[in-house]
């Protein structure tokens, strides 16, 4: 297969670049390994919501299967009922579909294989390769040794096969207390690879499983389950992040000694982003302590969070393709993800007008009570997006920052005696400034030129400033949630002595604006729709939005303002 291969299907926006994983697969195809069959899997543990790092793995596994006309399974590694929940399973499936991928009818669970895994454990006992151990968890850690010191054999390591079989069966029958016994593989307590020092295969745990209920009181460990699950599903290429590289010899040991189908495990570097933590454990803490609104808070790096913020799936896929696959850990600048978000939204998002910090403008020579409809283009880059009508009236709102009473030389917006253009509307000239008792500007009085409807003067005169606006009579009040990075430092783990990553939480990561107004065309916009507020940025309709209270999340600014702030 050539390196200029391209993905196929409606979800493919970019060419798939070659990488070392694809080189391995190409080699296997040339050698007719598995008769050229390519079968991958995405194996999340349902103990939290997926984050942007998982998006990289999803795009890789499903993308590989798509590009090689293979298959990709969705398998939930549900071996720990204490931490797992149906809520997480539902969210994971929603996230994968949102990204544009489909596992079709291949939805599996490690719990589907509990009976087979138990039978295989019995086989290993019968071969003298597994034993029941009564050391406590603390003692197991102590006996395990260190990176520079070999471990010690458990005093229960030399039990007879018959005794081990009896004890393991009684473990399953529920005769022993939680944590009192484990089943361990009998490998090598002197191995330089700590994972090979008689790892635990089963532990006693009385907890109701979301699928098997109370059928089991012993549960297999992830390391014992993972490779065999791949084997049972005939996965040809098991793609894992680098932290599993040292676990590969253990997976291969189980497969070899059970004599079952061998998947090829290939490791790649996980995704790390600046200003971001991508640990489900740390993200769960943020949720539980109320530091964020929930797993889908728009500041969270979860897939549900970036979806709620308004990031389009095409941008996430393009980002994952752009960063590529490597064997070396690195950190990607968050600005690159935002670049792809802007690129997609600039192409696809309709333009509308909104005013976040309103200043009232009264057009004194415009007829009182009159409202006219002006045609506004939805997307200048996409003629098929059409146009809409925007109401224009005697009283308007403009952005407060678009007026200065004493402007500097290069300020081209509204000022006393100056003429500017209203977007899609008329030329107006400021004739009077109204202030309150404290000297604050509260209203501008202007005149308009009726001949300039549409924004052009028939006499050819030009103005340098064009302002967005909304009709005070017809505009809708809206709540605007403005988001910045959740952490103040590029590396959230860069903390002082005695501190943790929460010390770097950004107290201004969410600011709520309750004084904004938007044009009435946004009244019926469905939740999840992202638009561009002209001159302000991209904003998404939040699920909290209703007919009584419109709510928008800022997806991303038109330019990277954060970089300027942090460099000051």
The domain that holds 545 is classified in CATH as: 2.40.240.10
Same domain, 313 and 365: no
Helix (H, G, I), strand (E, B) or coil at 184: strand
Q: Which CATH number fits the domain that encloses residue 206?
A: 3.90.800.10
Last residue of one domain, picked from the residues 455, 471, 487: 471
Which H helix or E strand runs over 132? strand 130-133
Whether residue 431 lies inside any domain: the answer is: yes
Q: What's the average model confidence in pLDDT over 225-243?
A: 96
Q: What is the pTM of this model?
A: 0.91
Same domain, 440 and 536: no
Same domain, 344 and 357: no
pLDDT digits (tens, 9 = 90+) for 509-546: 999 999 999 999 999 899 999 999 999 999 999 999 99
| Sequence-distant (≥ 6) Cβ neighbours of residue 377 within 8 angstroms | 351, 385, 387, 424
- Which is the catalytic residue, given 152, 270, 291, 489? 270
- Which is the catalytic residue, given 41, 45, 197, 267? 45
So what's the pLDDT on residue 157? 98
Whether residue 309 lies inside any domain: the answer is: yes
Helix (H, G, I), strand (E, B) or coil at 196: helix
Q: What's the average model confidence in pLDDT over 318-337?
A: 94
Catalytic status, residue 327? no
Local structure of residue 453 (DSSP, 8 states): T
Q: Answer for the pair 537, 558: CB distance below 8 angstroms, yes or no.
A: yes
Q: What is the CA radius of gyration of the chain?
A: 31
Domain extent, residue 444, equals: 353-471
Q: What's the average model confidence in pLDDT over 410-437?
A: 96
- Which is the catalytic residue, given 184, 280, 299, 554? 280
pLDDT mean across residues, the chain = 94
Q: What's the average model confidence in pLDDT over 319-346?
A: 94
On the question of pLDDT at 362 being above 50, the answer is: yes
Same domain, 497 and 451: no
Local structure of residue 269 (DSSP, 8 states): P
Same domain, 146 and 174: yes
So what's the pLDDT on residue 253? 98
Whether residue 43 lies inside any domain: the answer is: no
Q: What's the average model confidence in pLDDT over 272-280?
A: 95
Q: Answer for the pair 359, 444: CB distance below 8 angstroms, yes or no.
A: yes
Place of tokens 């696959």: 325
So what's the pLDDT on residue 562? 39
Cα 47 to its chain centre, rounded Å, is: 16
pLDDT digits (tens, 9 = 90+) for 39-93: 999 999 999 999 999 999 999 999 999 999 999 999 999 999 999 999 999 999 9
Q: What's the average model confidence in pLDDT over 328-340?
A: 94
Query: Whole-angstrom Cα distance, residue 529 to residue 308?
Result: 10
DSSP-assigned states of every residue in 499-565: --GGGGB-TTSEEEEEEEEE-GGGTTPPTT-EEEETTTEEEEE-TT--SSSEEEEEEE-SS-HHHHH
Handedness of CA 12, 242, 54, 101 (dihedral sign): positive
Whether residue 181 lies inside any domain: the answer is: yes
Same domain, 467 and 369: yes
pLDDT bracket for residue 560 (50, 70, 90): low
Which H helix or E strand runs over 347? helix 334-348
Q: What's the average model confidence in pLDDT over 158-162?
A: 97
Same domain, 337 and 375: no
Strands 371-377 and 387-393 turn out to be antiparallel
Whether residue 264 lies inside any domain: the answer is: no
Q: Answer for the pair 536, 356: CB distance below 8 angstroms, yes or no.
A: yes
On the question of pLDDT at 108 being above 70, the answer is: yes
pLDDT bracket for residue 17 (50, 70, 90): low
Same domain, 357 and 466: yes
So what's the pLDDT on residue 18? 76
Whether residue 370 lies inside any domain: the answer is: yes
Catalytic status, residue 45? yes
Helix (H, G, I), strand (E, B) or coil at 71: strand
pLDDT bracket for residue 559 (50, 70, 90): confident
Same domain, 464 and 359: yes
Whether residue 242 lies inside any domain: the answer is: no
Query: Whole-angstrom Cα distance, residue 382 to residue 128?
Result: 69
Counted residue by residue, the chain has a size of 568
Q: What's the average model confidence in pLDDT over 215-223?
A: 97
Q: What's the average model confidence in pLDDT over 331-352?
A: 96
pLDDT bracket for residue 329 (50, 70, 90): confident
So what's the pLDDT on residue 225? 97
On the question of pLDDT at 346 being above 70, the answer is: yes
List beta partners, residue 351.
532
Residue among 314, 338, 325 nearest 61 (CA): 325
Q: What's the average model confidence in pLDDT over 287-309?
A: 97
Last residue of one domain, picked from the residues 471, 488, 509: 471
Same domain, 312 and 458: no
Please give the tally of structural domains in the chain.
Answer: 3
Last residue of one domain, picked from the residues 181, 203, 223: 223
Same domain, 158 and 209: yes
On the question of pLDDT at 5 being above 50, the answer is: no
Whether residue 94 lies inside any domain: the answer is: no
DSSP-assigned states of every residue in 285-324: HHHHTTSSSSTT-TTS-BHHHHHHHT--HHHHHHHHHHH-
- What percentage of the chain has pLDDT greater than the value 90? 92
So what's the pLDDT on residue 557? 96
pLDDT bracket for residue 455 (50, 70, 90): confident
Catalytic status, residue 184? no
Same domain, 408 and 454: yes
| Sequence-distant (≥ 6) Cβ neighbours of residue 388 within 8 angstroms | 375, 376, 378, 521
């Amino acid at each position: 297969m050539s390196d200029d291969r391209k993905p196929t299907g409606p979800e493919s926006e970019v060419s798939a670049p070659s990488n070392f994983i694809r080189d391995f697969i190409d080699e296997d195809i040339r050698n007719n390994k598995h008769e050229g069959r390519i079968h991958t899997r995405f194996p999340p543990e349902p103990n939290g919501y997926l984050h942007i790092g998982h998006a990289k793995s999803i795009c890789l596994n499903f993308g590989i299967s798509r590009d090689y006309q293979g298959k990709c399974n969705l398998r939930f590694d549900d071996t720990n009922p204490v931490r797992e929940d149906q809520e997480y399973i539902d969210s994971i499936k929603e996230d994968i579909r949102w990204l544009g991928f489909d596992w079709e009818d291949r939805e599996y669970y490690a719990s589907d294989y509990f009976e087979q895994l138990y039978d295989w454990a019995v086989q290993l006992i019968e071969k003298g390769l597994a034993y029941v151990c009564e050391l406590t968890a603390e003692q197991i850690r102590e006996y395990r040794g260190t990176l520079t010191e070999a471990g010690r054999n458990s005093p229960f390591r030399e039990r007879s096969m018959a005794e081990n079989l009896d004890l393991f069966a009684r473990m399953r029958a529920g005769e022993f207390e939680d944590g009192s016994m484990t089943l361990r593989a009998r490998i090598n307590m002197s191995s330089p690879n700590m994972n090979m020092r008689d790892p635990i295969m089963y532990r006693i745990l009385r907890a109701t499983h979301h699928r098997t209920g109370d059928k089991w009181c012993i549960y297999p460990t992830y390391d014992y389950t993972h490779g065999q699950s791949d084997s049972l599903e005939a996965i040809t290429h098991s793609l894992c992040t680098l932290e599993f590289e040292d676990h590969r010899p253990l997976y291969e040991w189980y497969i070899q000694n059970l004599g079952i189908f061998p998947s090829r495990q290939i490791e790649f570097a996980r995704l790390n982003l600046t200003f971001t933590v991508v640990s489900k454990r740390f993200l769960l803490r943020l949720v539980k302590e109320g530091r964020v609104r929930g797993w889908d808070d728009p500041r969270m790096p979860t897939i549900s969070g970036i979806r709620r913020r308004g990031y389009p799936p095409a941008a996430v896929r393009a980002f994952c393709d752009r960063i590529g696959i490597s064997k070396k850990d690195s950190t990607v600048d968050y600005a690159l993800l935002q670049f792809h978000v802007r690129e997609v939204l600039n192409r696809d998002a309709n333009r509308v007008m909104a005013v976040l910090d309103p200043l009232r403008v009264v057009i004194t020579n415009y007829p009182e009570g009159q409202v006219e409809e002006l045609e506004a283009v939805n997307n200048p880059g996409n003629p098929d997006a059409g146009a809409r009508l925007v109401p224009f009236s005697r009283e308007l709102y403009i952005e407060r920052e678009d007026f200065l009473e004493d402007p500097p030389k290069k300020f081209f917006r509204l000022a006393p005696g100056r003429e500017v253009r209203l977007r899609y509307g008329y030329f107006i000239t400021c004739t009077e400034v109204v202030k309150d008792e404290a000297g604050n500007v509260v209203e501008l009085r202007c005149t308009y030129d009726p001949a300039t409807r549409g924004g052009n003067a028939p006499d050819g005169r030009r103005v340098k400033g064009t302002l967005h606006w909304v009709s005070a009579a017809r505009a809708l009040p809206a709540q605007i949630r403005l988001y910045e990075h959740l952490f103040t430092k590029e590396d959230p783990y860069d903390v002082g002595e005695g501190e943790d990553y929460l010390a770097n939480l950004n107290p201004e990561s969410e600011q709520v604006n309750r004084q904004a107004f938007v044009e009435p065309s946004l009244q019926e916009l469905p939740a999840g729709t992202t638009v561009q507020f002209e001159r302000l940025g991209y904003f998404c309709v939040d699920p909290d939005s209703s007919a009584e209270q419109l709510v928008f999340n800022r997806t991303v600014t038109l330019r990277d303002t954060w970089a300027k702030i942090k460099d000051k």
